[in-house]
Amino acid sequence: MKIVCTKSSLLQGVNIVLKAVSNKTTLPILECILLEVSNQTITLTANDMELGIKTVIEGNVLEPGKIALNAKLFSEIVRKLPDNDITITTNSSHQAVITCEKSKFTISGQGGEDFPLLPEIEKQQSITISQFMLKEVIRQTIFSISDNESNKLMTGELFEISDNNLKVVSLDGHRISIRNIELKDCYENIKVVVPGKTLSDLSKILNGGTEDEVHIYFTNKHILFELDQTIVVSRLLEGEYYNINQMLSTDYETKIQINKKEFLNCIDRASLLIRESDKKPIVINIQEDSMQLSIQSFIGSMKEEIYIRKEGKDLLIGFNPKFLMDALRVIDDEVIDIYLVNPKAPCFIKDAAQSYVYLILPVNFNAANI
């Protein structure tokens, strides 16, 4: 095998597939990147048996062939080579010679035949969405998945398609994030749970262009994302996702309208008094046309008032400030509506069209300290 390509092209391809290289395996082949060269195509592939990524890079093919190279070593070599053309040649004993200007590396690889193939996905059920929209919806929901592996379904996100609507849901037991996106076409009903790691890795690959499309294909066990010169294949999480509809009450006793930026900045300031390990709530006292936020910790205390428009009852309620900030940071509206019932019930931050809904459970606090 022999190829010549630019450092930037090779490094970009390596960085894309690196996300699917296994770092918890006893199989050395899964720690490799497969470099596959056919007549006029140079393909890089990584596969950890849960997530597989394949990408095509630009370059000149002088001789076809394939080899599996240790991903960590190969990526570090490419990263540290001069910014010029790189030549890679291999021989029959799986040795790779990587040269660039006056640098020459010789490293041992493994036979490409031993590398596990990505699963073949039947392209029957699919949707099409812009890269920008997919990247945005991941950013707007990924923060509220759980990192607790004992509850697998919470570590993923629900993708539910009905007609021309894509609903994406994540939850971690303390909060729920929901985004509804209108698709250009109508599709069959589909309901799958995609691992959070897959979506997080995919988000780093998406260029975020509004004109660039992603084709998403679904089977019973896998999801395939096809974009530009790259495909991402992932296993789905098995099991029935939570019935969140029963948690989404439309009843409320108090509704407030508030400037999002003011609210976010105020909570951000209050958070200066909380250490990571502290579980101190921010206490919100809703009155006629103002809302007082207060926080009391071992470091000190803070109070601030914000102007609001209120419907309904006064209310004193406490929240984890991080959960409020996570939701507020991904809402683009200048003014937001918050719906509340009582100090023990969750609050809902949502718009009239319900293109977004963020549910956050309150936390207990000692009213005597306020």
Positive or negative, the Cα torsion across 181, 187, 192, 195? Answer: negative
Same domain, 165 and 103: no
Question: Is there a contact between 284 and 318 (Cβ–Cβ < 8 Å)?
Answer: yes
Q: Tell me, yes or no, whether 64 lies in a domain.
A: yes
The pLDDT of residue 48 is above 80:
yes
Q: What percent of the chain has pLDDT over 70?
A: 99
How large is the average pLDDT for residues 60-81?
A: 97
Q: Tell me, yes or no, whether 119 lies in a domain.
A: no
CATH number of the domain that residue 254 is part of:
3.10.150.10
Q: Tell me, yes or no, whether 279 lies in a domain.
A: yes
Same domain, 213 and 304: no
**pLDDT value at residue 71:** 97
Which among 82, 114, 146 is the end of a domain? 114
Same domain, 223 and 143: yes
Same domain, 99 and 130: no
Q: pLDDT (tens digit, 9 = 90+) per residue, 217-262? A: 999 999 999 998 999 999 999 999 999 988 888 899 999 999 999 9
Rounded to whole angstroms, how far apart are CA atoms 219 and 125? 7
Rounded to whole angstroms, how far apart are CA atoms 260 and 228? 36
The pLDDT of residue 294 is above 80:
yes
Cβ within 8 Å of residue 280, ≥6 positions away: 273, 274, 295, 296, 297
**pLDDT value at residue 157:** 98
Helical residues (DSSP H) of 140-282, grouped into ranges: 196-205, 260-270
Same domain, 146 and 230: yes
The pLDDT of residue 184 is above 60:
yes
Q: Tell me, yes or no, whether 266 lies in a domain.
A: yes
Same domain, 282 and 193: no
Same domain, 181 and 282: no
Q: pLDDT (tens digit, 9 = 90+) per residue, 79-113? A: 999 999 999 999 999 999 999 999 999 999 999 99
Q: Tell me, yes or no, whether 349 lies in a domain.
A: yes
Which among 203, 219, 241 is the end of a domain? 241
Q: Tell me, yes or no, whether 120 lies in a domain.
A: no
Provide the whole-model pTM: 0.93
Same domain, 331 and 292: yes
More confident residue, 150 or 366: 150
C-alpha 42, offset from chain centre:
28
Same domain, 8 and 92: yes
Same domain, 110 and 24: yes
Q: pLDDT (tens digit, 9 = 90+) per residue, 201-215? A: 999 999 877 889 999
Question: Is there a contact between 194 and 159 (Cβ–Cβ < 8 Å)?
Answer: yes
Q: pLDDT (tens digit, 9 = 90+) per residue, 254-290? A: 999 999 999 999 999 999 998 877 778 999 999 988 9
Question: Is there a contact between 15 and 7 (Cβ–Cβ < 8 Å)?
Answer: no
**pLDDT value at residue 370:** 55
How large is the average pLDDT for residues 146-160?
A: 93
3-state secondary structure of 204: helix
The pLDDT of residue 144 is above 80:
yes
Q: Tell me, yes or no, whether 289 lies in a domain.
A: yes
Rounded to whole angstroms, how far apart are CA atoms 354 and 165? 12
Which among 201, 217, 241 is the end of a domain? 241
Six-digit token string for 327: 């939701």
For 206, the domain range is 125-241
How large is the average pLDDT for residues 6-22?
A: 97
pLDDT confidence of 366, banded at 50, 70, 90?
A: confident
Domain count of the fold of the chain:
3
Same domain, 200 and 303: no
Same domain, 262 and 214: no
Strand partners, 225: 216, 232
Q: Tell me, yes or no, whether 131 lies in a domain.
A: yes
Q: pLDDT (tens digit, 9 = 90+) per residue, 335-351? A: 999 999 999 999 999 99
